[in-house]
Structure 1
Amino acid sequence: MTDLQQALVEQLGDQCVSLDPGVLDAHAGDWSDTEKRRPSLVLTPRTPDEVARALGVLSALRQKVVVQGGLTGLAGGATPQAGEVAMSLAKMNAIEEFDQVGGTITVQAGLALEQLQTHVEAQGWFFPLDLGARGSCQIGGNAATNAGGNRVVRFGVMRDLILGMEVALADGTVLTMMNKVTKNTTGIDLKQLFIGSEGILGVITRLVLKLEPKPTVANTALCALGSFDAATRLLKELRRRLPALSSFELMWDDFMSAAMEIGGLKAPFATRSPVYVLVETLGGSEESERKALEEVLEYALENEIVDDVIVAQSLDHARQLWAYRETVGELLSRLKPHAAFDVGLPMIEMDGFVTAMKQALTSRFPEQTHLFFGHLGDGNLHLLSGPYANMADMHQVETLVYEQVQKAGGCISAEHGIGVVKQEFLHLSRSSAETDLMRKLKNLLDPCGILNDARVIAPDLSQGGAQPATPAPH
């Protein structure tokens, strides 16, 4: 037994320190296409205190560690690099406190999103964050990546749903910020440093989350539109007249055609349209809210904002309409190796960006498929392009797309994070002054550089930092 293993066993017990080959394989990578690599060992702490004690050992021995949640990330941030220990938070899945008066819940970071949703909905409450990976992704990882999803237009991103948090720093110090109130003006809100930082500053161990009263009614509609401009006009009208609006999913015709093919789905309308929008409202009154949705869509039809519309007549019908949007996982598999993007763009720039990208990508790579879809209400555009036979072509696509994102005043990642996959392009969204300050914060909170090293921001090689990993094709 090595000194490292012995020290960790002394702090956690041998049941939380594993060298089993099957366990190592299970923690060799996330959902991204970065090269899988076994960690040197796997830690599975059961409590926040055990996380802190393990970090104290790792820091003292200068042992690098990758923090892992549900391994559903798409940026390679949770994939181990050479010589790293993996720390899985999967055993830290307790619900500690549920305030059903104020609508808050205190949970450990390893709780799966779907478990949280199911638990609070049984008591008449609702946690609005929702992702396709809900059954596997963990709340701590959602916070560390500032997850978004389909309901941001109404409820905001993960940052907007967190009241308080506890973080274990690299040296084992526990930073307790378990605020439970919305208004708290008592100095710098330190938890914001850790939300979206992808684990490079500390390990999130516990969270206090805001809940909403559980909606009892969902109304869904699929709209066919003649242009992107019409979609923006529809969004404005829906926002003005429907307080219950929760989702506004935009799909260009190329995406819809691919979705129908791969999903074996029927064409929703008699004729094709350039743009489609999937609308959802969540509320508590079926009759009044359905009537409100139908009235605004009737107005949109009469004023030629919308060309055609289907309003779901049942829950099964709603699932059928959502099926077009939810073929993304199958499309990702079909188009591998692919370049997948989740960029953020000002709404006023999005139509021009899509038009320019379609022309440029089709011209340079006519044999590949290029699909556009996204969450228009929050400026999050997804682009899926592939398959590609070599890394050089894929890198050319990434460079082309990200440089155009910069010119449009957008950001290279809206919800998936930077990890290692997008690290070389971070300068297109963040200035050198910003990345220098990020590096200073990293060095202040993790002076030994053990936490998720060489991710998000490149190490300062002039100071002896480790060479960043080279991502595999993605």
Structure 2
Amino acid sequence: MQQGDVIEALLKALGAEVVTLPEQFGARQVVDWSGLPGATPRAIIRPRNTDEVAVALRICNQYRQAVVAQGGLTGLVGGANLLNGELALSLERMNHIVEIDRISGTITVEAGMPLQVVQEAALDAGLYFPLDLGARGSCTIGGNLATNAGGNRVIKYGMMRDQVLGLEAVLASGEVVGALHKMIKNNSGYDLRNLLIGSEGTLGVITRAVLRLRQRPRAVATAWCALPSYPAVTTLLEEAQAGLAAGVSAFEVMWAGYYDAVLTNLPSLRPPVKERFPFYVLLESVGGDPVRHTQAFEEFLGGMLEKEIVADAALATSEADALAFWAIRDAPGEYPKFIPNHAAYDVSFSVSDVGDVAARCDMRLRERWPQALVMIYGHLGDGNLHIVVDVPGSGKTLHGEIDDVIYDVTREFHGSVSAEHGIGTKKKAYLGFTRNDADIAAMRAIKVALDPNAILNPGKIF
């Protein structure tokens, strides 16, 4: 069969309302936020339901036509970008809530649903969906699943895979697998759900999911803490996990280089404390009783100040205060304003190694580029470290050399080259820094078994 015939076959089976040709794209975005180049799709398929996804993939598999599933296009590794000659499969029309079950504590949604809409629907039902990302208004549940998104509250609630009970997906053959189960316990053979989560659209196209909802927090206590040393940071984490009855829902650590840079370059931000310190932590805890929880949090914070683990602190007394604290931590969204050519890294390590990793990366970067701006911050409770590097006047010409520095340290500490977002095309060369040959061979075998014609998101991960 001629590959050119696939468009005709898709139009015949699904119609022009589902299959959009390039001359109709207009200014439509077809690449993710990575800044990596992406080809224009031969067509965009926008199915309205799982059956139409199955028809589309069955035809594409028959014609050996490559397909790239796209969600909100907020990824940072080129995972949703097209390389050459593929079709794009957008689930933007599959954006409905199928069911909210308050008794089971679940929400069943289609994969094109934006994360923020799920969060709001959960709150309207008196419950809570804890996954949260800066791109919440744009990213979709399907993309969150395909990349196993994490975000700010992994320390308490886990990654995206920890929010999923049931999953439905379409394989390259057009076969529909999985089920929309609501059980927490389900040990009936191989777990296809967790195989598909994090697979970056290379094994199947996720179409619907049953997500776990939690009890809505009735109290949120937030503090901005300034600390004198890195050991004080880890001590605060240990003390908070042990001393706060409701636990820690966010523990965001920021090195001084990050704090100074964002406050200097973003005048809308205000310093929560007067003096400068080596480290800062945004500490949050959620609970059920507003009065008792706030009181316990204040007592805990007072104890940390008395023990001089925390050098200074500001307690949020209103939602506006908390949002102002979070605005400092969420400042990476404003990087284009002052470091448009920066190199960014999202790596992870055992929690005990994070401090040493940060120090070694900073040292090696400054040895090579003394004038570099190095900003380090992250979710310490889950070992996720963000490193941002900008060498003034170099544009993006040094990104490959900076990659080598960061990923060499990652390999030395047996960390992961991708804490979130996946491998895509950006990190393919470094996959072997985290996974051994046997791991990669096993992954390739799974890929061949589920997608023998290699039509699903080709050229990604491997």
Please confirm whether the aligned pair reaches a TM-score higher than 0.5, indicating the same fold. Answer: yes
Q: Is the 8 A contact 1:24 1:38 kept in 2?
A: no
1:283 to 277, 281, 287: 287
Residue 196 of structure 2 corresponds to 194
Instruction: Give, as a single letter, the amino acid of the residue that structure 1 aligns with 2:281.
Output: V
Residue 409 of structure 2 corresponds to 404
What is the SS of the residue equivalent to 1:26? coil
Runs of 4+ in 1 over 3 A off after TM superposition: none
Q: Is the 8 A contact 2:22 2:42 kept in 1?
A: no
1:263 to 253, 263, 266: 266
2:459 to 454, 460, 473: 454
Q: Given the alignment of the two structures, is residue 253 of structure 1 paired with residue 256 of structure 2, yes or no?
A: yes
**Where do residues 32-431 of structure 1 align in structure 2 (5 Å cutoff)?**
32-242=34-244, 243-264=246-267, 265-387=269-391, 389=394, 393-431=398-436
Residue 470 of structure 1 corresponds to none
For residues 348-385 of structure 1, what are the alpha-carbon distances to aligned partners after superposition, in whole Å with 9 as ceiling and x for unaligned?
Answer: 21111111211211121123311000000000000011
Instruction: Give, as a single letter, the amino acid of the residue that structure 2 aligns with 1:356.
Output: R
What is the SS of the residue equivalent to 2:295? helix
Residue 8 of structure 2 corresponds to 6
Distance 2:417 2:73 in 1: 21
Distance 2:288 2:262 in 1: 32
Tell me the CA shift for residue 263 of structure 1. Answer: 2.1
Q: Is the 8 A contact 1:164 1:207 kept in 2?
A: yes
Distance 1:10 1:21 in 2: 18
Q: Is the 8 A contact 1:251 1:372 kept in 2?
A: yes
| Structure 1, 25-34 or 245-254: larger mean CA deviation | 25-34
Instruction: Give, as a single letter, the amino acid of the residue that structure 2 aligns with 1:132.
Output: G
Count of aligned pairs: 457
For residues 119-145 of structure 1, what are the alpha-carbon distances to aligned partners after superposition, in whole Å with 9 as ceiling and x for unaligned?
Answer: 111110110000010001000110110
Task: Using structure 1 for the length normalisation, give the TM-score.
Answer: 0.94
Tell me the CA shift for residue 319 of structure 1. Answer: 1.2
For residues 81-102 of structure 1, what are the alpha-carbon distances to aligned partners after superposition, in whole Å with 9 as ceiling and x for unaligned?
Answer: 1111100010001111111111
| Structure 1, 100-109 or 326-335: larger mean CA deviation | 326-335
What is the SS of the residue equivalent to 1:245? coil
Distance 1:158 1:256 in 2: 28
Distance 1:350 1:116 in 2: 33
Residue 439 of structure 1 corresponds to 444
Tell me the CA shift for residue 391 of structure 1. Answer: 5.3
For residues 286-334 of structure 1, what are the alpha-carbon distances to aligned partners after superposition, in whole Å with 9 as ceiling and x for unaligned?
Answer: 1111111111111111111110111011111111111211111112553
The alignment's C-alpha RMSD in Å is 1.5
| Structure 1, 255-264 or 204-213: larger mean CA deviation | 255-264
Distance 2:340 2:369 in 1: 15
Q: Is the 8 A contact 2:73 2:139 kept in 1?
A: yes
Distance 2:313 2:411 in 1: 35
Distance 2:50 2:265 in 1: 44
| Structure 1, 61-70 or 33-42: larger mean CA deviation | 33-42
Task: Using structure 2 for the length normalisation, give the TM-score.
Answer: 0.96
Tell me the CA shift for residue 12 of structure 1. Answer: 1.7
Tell me the CA shift for residue 244 of structure 1. Answer: 4.2
Could you tell me which runs of 5 or more consecutive residues in structure 1 were left unpaired when the two chains were aligned: 458-474
Q: Is the 8 A contact 2:342 2:396 kept in 1?
A: no
Identity among equivalent positions (%) equals 43
Distance 1:334 1:17 in 2: 40
What is the SS of the residue equivalent to 2:17? helix
